[in-house]
Copies of this chain bind each other. A is one copy, B any other.
Amino acid sequence: MENIPRYSFHDDYSEGAHPSIIEALAHTNLSQQSGYGDDEYSEDARKSIRNLIGTDEANIYFTPGGTGANLLSIASHLRPHEAIIAAEPAHIVGKEGGAIEATGHKIITEPGIDGKLTPEMIQSAFDRSSEFAYQPKAKMVFISNATEIGTVYNRNELAAVAGICKKLKLLLLLDGARLGAALTSSKNDMTLNDVYNYTDIFWIGGTKNGALLGEAVVIKNPSFGADFPYHMKQRGALLAKGMVIGIQFKTLLQDDLLFRLARFSNSAATEMSSSLAKMGFKLWAETESNQVFPIFPPALVQEL
């Protein structure tokens, strides 16, 4: 099999960070800053995000990882008896260690199509949640873009999801662990400003997009936003040296670095899937962003 290009089959986080992030950490290392995310670098990163989403209103915080970003987004917005709707492949359902249940909330699942939720599925989950008396009240909807299987939402799909949420008075949370990859996908027709307008809370992934660690959580409702750091502190997600994440996001948001990296990983993925296709392998899902799920014969899996 000499003619196969060699790819690492490790995941997005088998390496460190983009070199310019290491440089930034190095030359800011001795500047004295306030702790807990009140530093200049975090503030600069917030400014860049506010420019991209086109508002000065939103509250923006940086969490060390994605599981924390999700559990904090949900626990800070829901009452104990309220539940969240998600698709079966959603990260919070089967990949985050029961983090949502650990905050006391039930996840109401729908199968999903290509990893996405449709308005029909949201309506059906909502109806099931009120079928019997005093069952957990559906109050929030969870989607990921790019989804956990690498597909992306286009504007019509997201607008439809946002529409049913508004109609049913559900909050909309978008997990953006791979938002960079989504917004630079050939299938994408949205901007970060659209993402902000269609959702109530969303986050931009750093860990899977060139950072050592860190995600940026963007909160629309000012009262939830103002209280968010209390939740972060209570859950152990408020770093003393918050600037460690702020510096990385400041760097990722300069000269479009975050999106350039995402574009690069998307094209690498596309290239990989076409080579695989040429070689006659099928894909579990079409490659729309930076994830490829080839279906290999057992023998080859052995060999790899």
CB within 8 Å of B: which residues of A? 8, 10-17, 19, 22, 25-26, 28-36, 63-72, 75-76, 79-81, 83, 94-99, 101-106, 128, 132-137, 207-208, 212-213, 227, 229-241, 243-244
Are B25's CB and A234's CB within 8 A? no
Q: Which residue of B lies closest to A38 (CB)?
A: B133
What residue of chain B has the Cβ atom nearest to residue A81's Cβ? B230
Among the listed B13, B69, B238, B240, which residue makes an inter-chain contact with A241, where contact means beta carbons less than 8 Å apart? B13
Q: Interface majority SS on A: helix, strand, loop or mixed?
A: loop
A78 to chain B, nearest CB (A): 9
A150–B136 Cα gap in the complex (Å)? 24
A79 neighbours in B (Cβ, 8 Å): 76, 227
Verify B16–A240 contact, CB threshold 8 A. Answer: no
CB within 8 Å for A76 and B80 given contacts A97-B233, A236-B235: yes
Known: A16-B241, A133-B36, A134-B230. A99 touches B236 (CB 8 A): yes
Q: Are B22 and A244 within 8 A (Cβ)?
A: no
Residue among A30, A71, A97, A101 with max Cβ neighbours from chain B (10 Å): A97
Q: Compute how far the CA of A66 lies from the CA of B65 in the bound complex, rounded to whole angstroms.
A: 16
Contact B14 A68 (CB under 8 A): no
Which B residues touch A95, using CB under 8 A? 132, 135
CA distance A17 to B27 in the complex (A): 11
CB-based contact A65/B238 at 8 Å: yes
How far does the alpha carbon of A19 sit from the alpha carbon of B16 in the complex, in Å? 18
Residues A136 and B227 in contact in the complex (CB < 8 Å), given A207-B241, A240-B13, A241-B16: no
Q: Enumerate chain B residues within 8 angstroms of A8, measured Cβ to Cβ.
A: 32
Known: A64-B64, A133-B229. 6 other contacts (CB 8 A): A25-B212, A68-B235, A68-B236, A94-B135, A97-B234, A102-B235
Q: Are B96 and A106 in contact (CB under 8 A)?
A: no
Asked if A234 contacts B22 (CB within 8 A), the reply is: no
- Are A98 and B135 touching (Cβ within 8 A)? yes
Closest residue to A23 on the B side, CB-wise? Answer: B26
Specify the chain B residue showing the minimal Cβ separation from A133.
B36
The verdict on A15 contacting B32 (CB below 8 Å), with A102-B235, A230-B97, A233-B134 known, is yes
Q: With A and B bound together, what is the CA distance between A186 and B99 in angstroms? A: 43
Give chain B residues whose Cβ lies under 8 Å from the Cβ of A212: 25, 241, 244
Nearest B-chain residue to A11, judged by Cβ: B35
Contact yes or no, B22 A98, CB < 8 A: no
Cα–Cα distance between A95 and B72 once the two chains are bound (Å):
19
Partner of A26, one of B26, B128, B238: B26
How far is the CB of A81 from the nearest CB of chain B, in Å? Answer: 4
Distance of A277 from chain B, by nearest CB (Å) = 26
Bound-complex Cα distance A219 to B179 (A): 37
Closest residue of B by beta carbon distance from A224 = B79
A222 to chain B, nearest CB (A): 15
